[in-house]
Amino acid sequence: MDWVPIVFGIFKLGVLGVAMFFAIKWHRDKDREEEQRKREEAKMSSEAGGL
């Protein structure tokens, strides 16, 4: 049995797993940032409208 495909397969799965983790994290962070920005804009508009 050749060990090279097994090692490269494990390495490939590890790299893909790490890449998927960071891709999901990046998208979630962008969504949270956008939600926070919308909340701040709504807060600013409600404060300006109250004057």
Instruction: State how far the Cα of 46 lies from the Cα of 44, in Å rounded to an integer.
Output: 5
3-46 pLDDT per residue, tens: 999 999 999 999 999 999 999 999 999 999 999 999 998 888 88
Instruction: State how far the Cα of 7 lies from the Cα of 14, in Å rounded to an integer.
Output: 11
Task: Tell me the pLDDT band of 50, cut-offs 50, 70 and 90.
Answer: low
Tally: H helices and E strands in the chain: 1, 0
At 16, list the tokens.
Answer: 């893909």
What is the rounded radius of gyration, in angstroms, for the C-alpha atoms of the chain? 22
pTM of the model: 0.70
